[in-house]
Chains A and B, each alone.
Chain A
């Protein structure tokens, strides 16, 4: 499938996005940046999922009005929709907890909020 390799760009982009976000999560000590890393990781996974369902030259799988002959696969779009909403929920809860931590400790540094250790 060598002739298709350039077409793999969305998958490669998803993998690189996941790598970058994992780097952010591991090496950035600011809690808000950590949450941004989690959001980017979710974005990478969603990009991978929605790219799975694409068919070359396909249109939206909706029968209203004029449509193309080939339709892209509907299930990955549904899965991506679900996972986007799930990640919205997770991020809302994370930000709430960070606000509370900031109220308590007065800092956003993950090395300062380590009362629990050992």
Chain B
């Protein structure tokens, strides 16, 4: 069990290296191998989550004589790569394991008519590896490497349907943006290394001085990661890349953007947590979050392409998370305010990440089902599809009610946390949030009417419901939505509050590695 962190990273990698060899032998065996390995990884993730919940932060030192020997004996500085898993990492990895499993199952029949399926699944597993490594590593340069793995595999998968021109364009935009953001992150890592001669996050958090170079590095980290996340002035690549990818990959890309959000949290709260000028950075995040919510939803109402429309909604939902966590960051230096509403705001933001990671991939999958049925993403050519796609319609309704915060579904339970806690920080945030929620419901109603309602169109009479594996992939996420809907306080107590506390409590993260040294 002590090897769980590295096994979760290494097993998808091993299976990804095996997949081309197995795929030459048989296609079905390859699919079985991929799904079974992802199920096994999901079990490992849940076991690791229980371990973290009971025994606190897990540290794994690679290549040392013992996994918990983070600092060499008789030495003050960690020299090896260290994986450090705390509440927020485990929270994100649970989301990532569930969504990647659903996406893999969904892909099997979603790409059944295409060529190059073996390489598709290889890249999907590599993307899973990159996400897990991004969430578990405690080393800055290693974080950059895994970020690149996720970006490159994501770009290749976005451009998977090579016979359309727009897919190539979307993949090119994605990889250019990712490459430049990653290079800026690498430059900032070099700035930190030049001063403190270390790459370990815990050691840097202990030694950091917040000099001018650290401020430049913080700006580069923050803007690069928020661009990868899709924050509004930098969101322009986001719909281009997400709307053209295969639907299963779009569902996974949502979680990779959440993983970049995790990296931004890690930088702000853990690396710079002790010295950061919290109100300024918190207000930067809050203002960007307001812009993100409003511009995203207004652009979404305008869209006519179903996947672009959902991508803009993904952008606008990110705003809730930035606002919740930004309020928590803005009051970070003030324990009284943290206890009053900061912790609730951060819990709301983190809880909204969980809910968004459940219903947004579900909605993308239903959009992919529409594409699978009609062969187009254009809403103006759709209509009356509810006559033939009953399951897809039901799942779309579940996702719609959940994303627009209709009680009793889970979207509401996180939004109420955000509203009530953020209102005490500044009322305008809550008001904007409610307006955005209303516009979200309106735009999804519009899409629902134009795609599913109405008389059955003659050109779509012949088709039938999407294949079973796509339905299974969607039902996994719908089951997650129902679970979070029914047991909100269970989820909040066991997953959300530990995650938020591990963000607030910087000392624990440092002591887990530097504990032996004064």
Contacts and interface: CB of A to CB of B under 8 A. Distances in A.
Task: Consider the complex of A and B and state whether they touch directly, i.e. have CB atoms less than 8 Å apart.
Answer: yes
Interface of A: 18, 25, 31, 34, 38, 41-42, 45, 48-49, 52, 73, 75-76, 79, 82-83, 86-87, 89-90, 93-94, 97-98, 100-101, 104-105, 113-118
A38 B176 contact: yes
Contacts of B24: none
Given A83-B186, A101-B172, A52 B156 contact: no
Given A49-B186, A93-B175, A104-B168, A41 B180 contact: yes
B190 A52 contact: yes
Contact of B194 (A31, A52, A93): A52
Given A90-B175, A93-B156, A45 B190 contact: yes
3 closest cross-chain pairs (CB), A and B: A104-B165, A116-B240, A97-B172
Interface in B141-180: 141, 145, 148, 152, 155-156, 159, 162, 165-166, 168-173, 175-176, 179-180
A116 B243 CA distance: 9
A116 B239 contact: yes
B168 A82 contact: no
A86 B186 CA distance: 12
Interface string B240-264: 1001100000000000000000000
Contact of A34 (B170, B176, B199, B240): B176
13 contacts: A18-B187, A45-B186, A45-B187, A45-B190, A48-B190, A76-B193, A90-B175, A93-B156, A97-B171, A113-B165, A115-B165, A116-B166, A116-B239
A100 B168 contact: yes
Contacts of B155: 93, 97
A76 B175 CA distance: 25
A116 B172 contact: no
Contacts of B199: 75
Interface in B12-51: none
B165 to A, nearest CB: 4
Give the most central of A73, A83, A101: most B CB within 10 Å: A83
Contact of A52 (B173, B176, B193): B193
Contacts of B145: 82, 86
B472 interface: no
Contacts of A115: 165-166, 169
Contacts of A116: 166, 169-170, 173, 239-240, 243-244, 308
A71 B243 CA distance: 51
B184 to A, nearest CB: 8
A37 to B, nearest CB: 9
Contacts of B187: 18, 45, 48
Contacts of B190: 45, 48-49, 52, 79
Contacts of A18: 187
Contacts of B159: 97, 100
Given A86-B145, A93-B156, A116-B240, A101 B168 contact: yes
A27 to B, nearest CB: 15
B183 interface: yes
B281 to A, nearest CB: 24
A101 B171 CA distance: 10
A94 B176 contact: yes
B162 A100 contact: yes
Nearest to B170: A116
Contacts of B193: 52, 75-76, 79
Contacts of A73: 197
Nearest to B167: A100
Contacts of A34: 176
Nearest to B195: A52
Interface string B176-213: 10011001001100100110010100000000000000
A90 B152 contact: yes
A89 B126 CA distance: 14
Given A41-B180, A97-B171, A101-B165, 14 more contacts: A38-B176, A79-B190, A82-B145, A86-B148, A87-B179, A89-B148, A89-B152, A93-B152, A94-B176, A100-B159, A100-B162, A113-B165, A113-B169, A116-B308
Interface in B121-154: 141, 145, 148, 152
A98 B171 CA distance: 10
Contacts of A94: 172, 175-176, 179
A105 B141 contact: no
A105 B152 contact: no
A101 B169 contact: yes
Give the most central of A87, A90, A104, A116: most B CB within 10 Å: A116
Contacts of A42: 179, 183
A41 B148 CA distance: 16
Contacts of A49: 186, 190
A14 to B, nearest CB: 9
Contacts of A79: 141, 190, 193
Given A48-B190, A49-B190, A90 B179 contact: yes
B434 to A, nearest CB: 27
Nearest to B299: A118
Interface in B111-128: none
B169 to A, nearest CB: 5
Give the most central of A25, A73, A101, A115: most B CB within 10 Å: A115
A115 B305 CA distance: 12
Contacts of B148: 86, 89-90
